[in-house]
Structure 1
């Protein structure tokens, strides 16, 4: 009887020690982490509302080429859609943004015009985000970059941001 209890005690102590020894060697999320790294957000471009019928959306560019856009048409609920770019196209968008001096820019560039549509651009450097809220006053290269981003997103959306249609 004592031998039986001693064996149970031995296994009761051995099992936790074995478990503690094996857990650090077993990483169940290793493949998930590599997939998550592939889908890393590299750029976010957002157009804010104005008093008229301005395009309103937030486009999130991922390193694997996927672009997720959350947009709102006038008088409607927000919607989400996706489109794809080539990975190299996303890389070149990021490099072009960096070339405008984005990481040296101020955080806000505002206009005195009350209904000037604001745009926000967030880029990542060593996994740290930097956001610039912009209406006007930056370099011509940065202004051109924002216009090209807006054209890229809006042409892939194929959405009418004008006044709501009446039936």
Structure 2
């Protein structure tokens, strides 16, 4: 009797292993379309804490002119907010980042000072992404780009609430 039970369990296990569903090409294309339909992040900006009251938040701007913001500490708006931006916002920002030669800037700006927040900023353009860590000593060009994204948060998240 034990022999028959072991055979039955073995056959059941083999059947279970072979019962994996094969995905047809049309189903694969559907799954690919779903993955492709998610908008791509074009810009990010994140600020870290300091020993004082430095704002801590993250924001992402997507290719479809939408923004996601998450305010953590020392910000006027805490929590996550998603917002649709005016059409063409991403295009305008892309031009400004290209004109500022964002990809020619250093990857890290640091100095031997303490208690400053760190700003992380990134830009994706034609499948190329660059992320910059700005602690201190960055050029005015980078500060202006960071200010553009901060102003977007101020206008779209804080003032529009």
TM-score by length of 1: 0.68
For 1:95, what is the secondary structure of its paired residue?
Answer: helix
CA distance in 2, matches of 1:135, 1:60: 20
The equivalent of 1:107 in structure 2 is: 107
Deviation at 1:99, TM superposition (A): 1.9
How do 1:41-56 and structure 2 match up within 5 A? 41-56=41-56
Aligned length in residues: 135
The equivalent of 2:4 in structure 1 is: none
The CA deviation string for residues 109-166 of structure 1, in whole angstroms up to 9 with x for no partner, is 013331222111111233243110013333322211212221221343329xxxxxxx
How do 1:71-150 and structure 2 match up within 5 A? 71-74=71-74, 79-150=79-150
The CA deviation string for residues 34-62 of structure 1, in whole angstroms up to 9 with x for no partner, is 522xx111111111111111111110100
2:37 pairs, out of 20, 29, 35, with 35
The equivalent of 2:70 in structure 1 is: 70
- Higher-Rg member (1/2): 1
For 2:103, what is the secondary structure of its paired residue?
Answer: helix
Contact 1:108–1:134, Cα closer than 8 Å, also in 2: yes
For 1:29, what is the secondary structure of its paired residue?
Answer: helix
Q: 1:53 to 1:81 in 2, by over 3 A?
A: same
For 2:88, what is the secondary structure of its paired residue?
Answer: helix
Deviation at 1:32, TM superposition (A): 2.0
Structure 1 unaligned blocks of 5 or more: 1-18, 160-167
Contact 1:63–1:87, Cα closer than 8 Å, also in 2: no
Deviation at 1:87, TM superposition (A): 3.6
TM-score by length of 2: 0.71
CA distance in 2, matches of 1:136, 1:90: 27
Query: Alignment RMSD, CA only?
Result: 2.5
Contact 2:85–2:156, Cα closer than 8 Å, also in 1: no
